[in-house]
Amino acid sequence: MHQVTDSPLSYRTLRGFQITTVFCVTVAVQEWIRHPHAGWTGFALMMILGGFDNGTAILRAFHRFSGVFMGLFTGYFFWFLGHLDYRLMFFIVPLTIFFIFFSAGTAYSTSTIFAVCASVIGFGYYHSQSSFIVSFYLIDYGMCTVIAFAIILVFEYFWFRRYNMMQRFINDIQIEVINNLYHLIHLLNQEKIRRVDWYNGCTLCTASIFEMDRLLCNSQFILGSERAVGDEFNQFVVLTHRVYVGLKALYLAYYTKRHRKFDYYQLVEKVQADLIQLKALIAFEKAEDVTYGVLHAAPG
* Annotated domain spans of the chain: 11-161, 164-292
Type and span of the H or E element at 6: none
Type and span of the H or E element at 29: helix 11-33
What is the sign, positive or negative, of the torsion defined by CA atoms of 240, 104, 150, 19?
negative
**Per-residue pLDDT, 230:** 63
The whole model's pTM is what? 0.63
Comparing CA positions, the residue from 67, 183, 73 lying closest to residue 135 is: 73
Report d(CA 92, CA 280) in Å as an integer. Answer: 57
**Helix/strand/coil (H/E/C) assignment for every residue in 49-104:** CCCCCHHHHHHHHHHHHHHHHHHHHHHHHHHHHHHHCHHHHHHHHHHHHHHHHHCC
pLDDT block averages, 10 residues each, the chain of length 300: 52 83 89 78 80 68 87 87 81 85 74 85 65 75 88 85 75 85 86 88 90 70 53 82 89 75 77 82 51 38
Contacts of residue 86, Cβ cutoff 8 Å, sequence gap at least 6: none
